[in-house]
């Protein structure tokens, strides 16, 4: 058996508000944001934070809920249901993908890939559209 030893340094863990990352500028290779930054109340500030801690050429991976283009075209009642659901889930106003991508470019990122998972998620906005189109408020209580 070998008597040699080695010290292996793995990833570290820090618990912090993602709006105030206690990390050195340019100190990380990648940021994974899995169902989290949708809660950001200051998305431009958040992207600036991430851009700051990433090394040049570092990458940000985001998996998040975004509003789809359907949000703008479904009946008003469906939009209200969506907005109410967002509030129930404690989201501030959700971003649409085009608006978020434009913001990312504005904050110095290059967006290199997008995958739309809408069809794989439930309930879809189309469900809200169906419900919203057939519901009306009670006339009396």
Ligand X SMILES: C[S@@+](CC[C@H](N)C(=O)[O-])C[C@H]1O[C@@H](n2cnc3c(N)ncnc32)[C@H](O)[C@@H]1O
Report if residue 93 touches ligand X, rule: CB under 6 A.
no
Strand, helix or coil for residue 58: strand
- Segment lying near ligand X (by CB under 6 A), choices 13-21, 91-99, 101-109, 114-122: 13-21
Q: Which of 18, 71, 91, 109 forms a contact with ligand X (CB under 6 A)?
A: 18
Under a CB-based contact definition with an 8 Å cutoff, are residues 126 and 70 in contact? yes
Torsion of CA 22, 25, 26, 27, to 10 degrees: -40
- Segment lying near ligand X (by CB under 6 A), choices 21-29, 33-41, 91-99, 109-117: 33-41
Q: How far apart are CA 109 and CA 82, in angstroms?
A: 29
Report if residue 88 touches ligand X, rule: CB under 6 A.
no
Q: Based on CB atoms, which residue is closest to ligand X, 64 or 103?
A: 64
Q: Based on CB atoms, which residue is closest to ligand X, 50 or 125?
A: 50
Report if residue 13 touches ligand X, rule: CB under 6 A.
no
Q: How far apart are CA 49 and CA 16, in angstroms?
A: 12
Q: Which residues pair with 28 in a beta bridge?
A: 54
The gap from C-alpha 71 to its chain's centroid, in whole angstroms, comes to: 17
Q: Kindly state the smallest distance separating residue 34's Cβ from ligand X, in Å.
A: 4
Under a CB-based contact definition with an 8 Å cutoff, are residues 81 and 128 in contact? yes
- Segment lying near ligand X (by CB under 6 A), choices 31-39, 51-59, 71-79, 95-103: 31-39
Residues that bind ligand X (CB under 6 A): 17-19, 34-36, 39
């Amino acid at each position: 058996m070998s008597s040699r030893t080695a010290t292996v340094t793995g990833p570290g863990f820090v618990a912090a508000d993602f709006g105030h990352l206690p990390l050195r500028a340019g100190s990380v290779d990648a940021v994974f944001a899995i169902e989290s930054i949708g809660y950001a109340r200051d998305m431009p500030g958040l992207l600036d934070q991430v851009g700051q801690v990433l090394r040049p050429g570092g990458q940000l991976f985001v998996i998040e809920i975004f509003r789809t283009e359907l949000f703008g075209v479904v009946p008003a009642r469906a939009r209200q249901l969506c907005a109410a659901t967002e509030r129930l889930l404690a989201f501030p106003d959700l971003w649409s993908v085009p608006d978020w991508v434009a913001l990312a470019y504005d904050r110095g990122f290059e967006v290199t890939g997008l995958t739309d998972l809408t069809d794989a998620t439930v309930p879809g906005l189309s469900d809200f559209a169906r419900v919203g189109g057939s519901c009306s408020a009670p006339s009396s209580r």
